[in-house]
Structures are given as C-alpha cells and as structure tokens.
Amino acid sequence: MNISILGGGIGGLSTAIALKQAGFDVEVYERHSQPIEIGAGIVCWPNASFVLAQLGLLDKVAELAGPVIAMNRFCSSGESLGSLNIDELNRLMKYPSYSILRKDLMKILTQRSVELNINIHYQHTVRSLFNNSGSVYVQFSCGKVIEADIIISADGRRLYVTENNSPIYQGSVNWIGVFETDTALFTELSVADYWGVGERFGIVPVSKTKAYWAGGVTAEHTGEIKPERYKSELSALFSHWSGLIEQVINETPLSRIHQVYVHDHDPIDCWHKDNVLLLGDAAHAPLPTSGQGACQALEDAWHMTQCLTDNSNDIEKAFRQFTSLRIAKTSGITLGGRHLAAAIFNNDSSFCKQRNLASKSTNYNEVVAGMAKGWSNGLPIGV
Ligand SMILES: Cc1cc2nc3c(=O)[nH]c(=O)nc-3n(C[C@H](O)[C@H](O)[C@H](O)COP(=O)(O)OP(=O)(O)OC[C@H]3O[C@@H](n4cnc5c(N)ncnc54)[C@H](O)[C@@H]3O)c2cc1C
C-alpha cells in the first residue's frame, strides 16, 4: 500500500515514521525547501512522550530537551496564583514531560525519516485535491500530479474532505521567541505563566540557559506582521511585568521572534472522504492555550498506524476507527483551549481579579489528576 503524506511538520513526519516502522510505503510532500526552524518550542507532555517512546525517539528528545517539573502561575506583579506539580503529572501518566525547541524536535523527526529512507519531497506545495473518475489526485504548484492508495492531509488544511476549510481567528496575537544566555538563569525547569488583564506572558525553560517564551494580548482583528515593531510592542506591553520578562524580551534577538495571530478550527464530525484522511491540525487544530496541539498530532500518528495495521484491507474501516477513537478527545482539547483563552485573554479587570482569586484557591492537585486522566485517555498509559 502506498501512502502520501501532505505536510512535513510534526504530525506528517511522526506519522510517516510510525507507518514506515510498521512496514508501510510512505512519501512526504512539504512546501518548504528544508525543515523549518520557525516556531519557538513545545512541551511534550507524557502522552506525547509515550508516542515518542513508541517511535524510538524519546531518548533523542531527552538529549535536547528539558525535564519540566512544575508550572507556576503568577499575576503580572509576580504574586503567586498557584502551581501545577508536573512531577506528579508524570508519575500519574508514567512518562516524563519535556520542553523542547520546535527546531530540535523537527531535527529529530527529520533525521529518523532519513534513516528510514522516507522520501521527503521538499518544495512541493499542494495546490488542490480533485477526484477524476473515482480516483483522488493531488496537484502541486510546480504542476506535478500524484495519486496514492491513501492520502493523509497533515498540512493544517481541510482540503477535499470538508468545505469548512477556514481556521477561525480567536481574538489574540502571540509573539513567540527563543532566549539564550551565558548565565544559568533557570535553576529548575519550571514553566512561569504570568496573567494580566487581556495579556499573558509565559516562559518555558529548556535548559539552565535556554528558554522559549510567548507573550500574547487580545486583538480584535488580525493585522499586518511588522517585525521591526516587535520589540517596542513587547516592551510597551510587558516590560513593567515581574520576573525575567523584561530581560527575556530585551535579550532575544529579533531574528528569533515571530508573531502569530491565533486561530483554531471548529471540531468537525468526519475527518475523511474517499481515500483522503485529515490528521494533526488539519483535523483538530486547538489554540496554544490547550498546550496539546503537537501532542495530539503525535497521538494521531500512533493511533493511525494501529488502525491501518489492524485494517490494512479495509481503508474505510481504518479511517472510521481512527476518527471514532480520536474525535471526542481532540474536540474536548479544542474547547478546553478556547475556555482557558477566554479567561486569560479577557479585558474586563473585575473578571480578571475574580479569575486570579479563583486560581489562588484552586486545588491544583485535583487539576493535575484531571489532566492526567484526560491526557491519558485512549492510550495504554497512566490513570
Ligand atoms: C504560537 C503557538 C504555540 C504553540 N505551542 C504549542 C505547545 O506548547 N504544545 C503543543 O503541543 N502544541 C503547540 N502548538 C501547536 C502545534 O505547533 C501544532 O498543533 C502542531 O505543530 C500540529 O502538527 P501538524 O503536523 O498538524 O502541523 P505543523 O507542524 O504546522 O505542520 C504542517 C506542515 O504542513 C506544511 N504545509 C502547509 N501548507 C502546505 C501546502 N499547501 N503544501 C505542502 N505543505 C504544506 C507546513 O509547511 C508544515 O511543515 C502551538 C502553536 C502555535 C501557533
């Protein structure tokens, strides 16, 4: 069986690796000319670490990543709003949590793909998918047309499967960056998450000297991306905030800052049509506040491979099994991401005061237990 994967990001490459290791013939088509370095970092929560272990990549990730032990919440003045014990989350889910730069995760996935002789066709931008006499074809901008037994859309779009193809702008803009220093600033690898009124700044250490960060603010409309303004915009918003925020902004080179107007996708009921299947963000893009986008793309890779291995003579059945296994969990994560975003990116100061008070009195042990239960769902791990 020949499988073409459109999009060589986290979902596309991890799926290619999982399928190839299970004996399937896969090809990947990616619009960029080489592995992309854009993006800051991600936390591979224990559910993602489980998948990385199944792919044989968890040791490689551990070499380049940092073991996250806590997530501490603060208000903008630095007052504590509570803390999530990530060691406990890891214990409950039986796998570690790792913070890693996106470029390092992509490097690991790319290297493994190369070792497995997976063909990654760079500079192949998908233009359209079309059905001709019962067969589905992919047309690329360069003019090339391919067909395959299975086409997996892992390019963040819902082409062919649904007309509901547009991501939804969710009213906030993020600046993301990678900060490195010579001094050991991060003595313990705890995420620092600062909440303001309609504003948020998070710092995620990857090592004692390196962290990725994201600053976000509500924005009614999307706007032009103007890199020359990043520093002044960030300073105006966050330089008076507590902790290391000002230093992190000042000392991050402009070349390592990017701006993203934040979108997600509405959950949909069906992720496949004919021999085309959506996977990763294309099927279920959540907001960054979910903290689970990449983790869910990795979970897709593992589940998809199991479903196809069990039903290699019946693609339709494999697709149905995959979507029924995945839809409830990923929809819950998408809606959870929106719920948290509505509380964090809220411009009403009295709401934010109440939110902070509620956070201070939250039983975070219960929150961690709930996260462990939800994120383990569908996987042979943890609680
Ligand atoms: C600001 C921000 C912060 C985030 N933080 C986290 C986090 O902390 N934890 C987490 O788990 N997730 C996080 N995410 C989400 C995570 O990055 C995505 O959910 C994850 O990368 C999904 O994997 P994917 O393969 O579907 O998409 P991607 O990794 O984005 O890959 C899609 C690939 O398709 C390619 N492509 C696109 N269009 C075409 C085309 N027409 N033709 C060919 N190729 C194409 C792209 O170049 C890309 O390589 C964050 C996202 C954002 C925006």
| Ligand 1 atom at minimal distance to the Cα of residue 40 | 3
Distance CA 28, CA 150 (A): 12
Average per-residue pLDDT for the chain: 96
Which residue has a Cα nearest atom 15 of ligand 1?
Answer: 293
| Ligand 1 atom at minimal distance to the Cα of residue 29 | 43
| Ligand 1 atom at minimal distance to the Cα of residue 285 | 19
Distance CA 277, CA 262 (A): 24
Using alpha carbons, select from 48, 84, 88, 82 the residue that is nearest to residue 65: 48
pLDDT band at 37 (very low <50, low <70, confident <90, very high): confident
Contact 86, 97 (CB under 8 A): yes
Is residue 330 over pLDDT 80? yes
Residue-level pLDDT at 256: 94
Question: Do strands 199-205 and 210-218 pair parallel, antiparallel, or not at all (unpaired)?
Answer: antiparallel
Distance CA 99, CA 97 (A): 7
Residue-level pLDDT at 192: 97
Ligand 1 mutation target, pool 5, 6, 10, 45, most atoms within 8 A of CB: 10
Residue-level pLDDT at 164: 72
Q: What percent of the chain has pLDDT over 90?
A: 95
Please tell me the distance between residue 322's alpha carbon and the centre of ligand 1 in angstroms: 20
pLDDT in tens, 48-66: 999 999 999 999 999 999 9
Q: Which residues pair with 169 in a beta bridge?
A: 263
Using alpha carbons, select from 178, 169, 247, 246 the residue that is nearest to residue 214: 178
| Cα dihedral sign, 131-268-41-189 | negative
Please tell me the distance between residue 7's alpha carbon and the centre of ligand 1 in angstroms: 9
Retrieve residue 131's tokens. Answer: 């059905």
pLDDT in tens, 187-219: 999 999 999 999 999 999 999 999 999 999 999
Q: Which residues line ligand 1 (CB under 6 A)?
A: 6-12, 29-32, 36, 42-43, 125-126, 154-156, 174, 176, 214, 260, 280-281, 288, 291-295, 297
Residue-level pLDDT at 266: 93
Please tell me the distance between residue 102's alpha carbon and the centre of ligand 1 in angstroms: 10
What mean pLDDT comes out for the span 23-48? 93
Domains in the chain, ordered, with CATH? 2-167+265-376 (3.50.50.60)
Is residue 383 over pLDDT 70? no
Residue-level pLDDT at 243: 86
Distance CA 185, CA 209 (A): 6
pLDDT band at 38 (very low <50, low <70, confident <90, very high): confident
pLDDT in tens, 63-103: 999 999 999 999 999 999 999 999 999 999 999 999 999 99
Please tell me the distance between residue 363's alpha carbon and the centre of ligand 1 in angstroms: 33
Residue-level pLDDT at 165: 75
Residue-level pLDDT at 36: 79
pLDDT in tens, 272-300: 999 999 999 999 999 999 999 999 999 99
Please tell me the distance between residue 301's alpha carbon and the centre of ligand 1 in angstroms: 14
Retrieve residue 143's tokens. Answer: 């003019």
Q: Which residues pair with 172 in a beta bridge?
A: 218
| Ligand 1 atom at minimal distance to the Cα of residue 36 | 49
Is residue 162 over pLDDT 80? yes
Contact 118, 29 (CB under 8 A): no
| Ligand 1 atom at minimal distance to the Cα of residue 174 | 1
What mean pLDDT comes out for the span 12-38? 94
Residue-level pLDDT at 35: 85
Q: Which amino acid is at 72?
A: N
